[in-house]
Amino acid sequence: MRKYKAGTWLFRWLEGCEAKGNAELLKEAVTISTIPATKAYVVTELMQSDLHKIIVSPQPLSSDHVKVFLYQILRGLKYLHSAGILHRDIKPGNLLVNSNCVLKICDFGLARVEELDESRHMTQEVVTQYYRAPEILMGSRHYSNAIDIWSVGCIFAELLGRRILFQAQSPIQQLDLITDLLGTPSLEAMRTACEGAKAHILRGPHKQPSLPVLYTLSSQATHEAVHLLCRMLVFDPSKRISAKDALAHPYLDEGRLRYHTCMCKCCFSTSTGRVYTSDFEPVTNPKFDDTFEKNLSSVRQVKEIIHQFILEQQKGNRVPLCINPQSAAFKSFISSTVAQPSEMPPSPLVWE
């Protein structure tokens, strides 16, 4: 089953790369197969680091760094959410960064198409605990792309303070740290939570919000920064800011300007000056279509559709690339350049 899921998501991701609609999604991939064609590898552009390594490093981060990183994350999520896709594991380690501070969202192993039917149950085994939205911590059976925005808010605070905002040892402690900051939520804000989680909140002492503490994260925690951060860290997911609206916040004006002045590929310079794209933060239309999965019932079928995609991709002027597993360099290639499966988030708390 895990091979089947991995295969279908690889194909989803490859199709997304082919669309090439947004620069913040890790793409521009070359797909290559082995001889014989029993395995497939995806070779992507080089990204030297990730946001986690940068945050824990002694490298100083200016306000410009924070703004341009946050702008790129939200730009990518706006595109992803417009396609009807939830990433479900946004964290610093899944945000790759190159030497020019260009950022890419990666690891779509937990991503899924948005479920509009609220009666359909969705797994809670998503999102690394520190970046997990309160509705998931409280056992909600249905959630929206607002869970990704909560994760971005946690990362935003981490960029400002250079430490994890809600660093707890357990899901219950995680929830308690959130309520320490945001205060005790209303019953309306907890409407999707399971009864056990509601009972845990209600039998505890009533807490008042302590949001002004966010100003102490760093000298870069300006009024505009904290205002945007507070719009992301909202307990009620229906009131949490969207990626689109977050991008319109004045805090990100400088990040947008810097990105499109010297970092992006959608704008370009000429002898007469810079030519800017007509759409700084594009969306996709129509939404991502995953109906192809209905016809896939085995690992063999998934392999076949990926292999066919590779053949189609190699048509035209592109020279086909193949790997020979019998070559002397193959073992070192496997050990040094092939990404290993990331650790799954721990199972959610089972509320009484």
Catalytic residue IDs: 89
Q: How far is CA 79 from the centre of its chain?
A: 11
Mind giving me the DSSP string for 246-264?
Answer: HHTSGGGHHHHHHHHHHT-
The alpha helices in the chain, defined as continuous H runs, are 2-19, 51-56, 63-82, 134-137, 146-161, 171-182, 195-202, 223-232, 243-247, 253-262, 299-313, 330-337
For residues 104 and 134, the answer to whether their CB atoms sit within 8 Å is no
Q: What is the DSSP letter of 48?
A: -
- Give the number of other CB atoms < 10 A from CB of residue 269: 10
Burial class (CB in 10 A: 0-12, 13-18, 19+), 61: middle
Q: Rounded to whole angstroms, how far apart are CA atoms 247 and 253?
A: 8
Task: Name which of 339, 348, 347 is nearest 107 in CA terms.
Answer: 339
Q: φ, ψ for residue 135 (rounded to 5)?
A: -65, -30
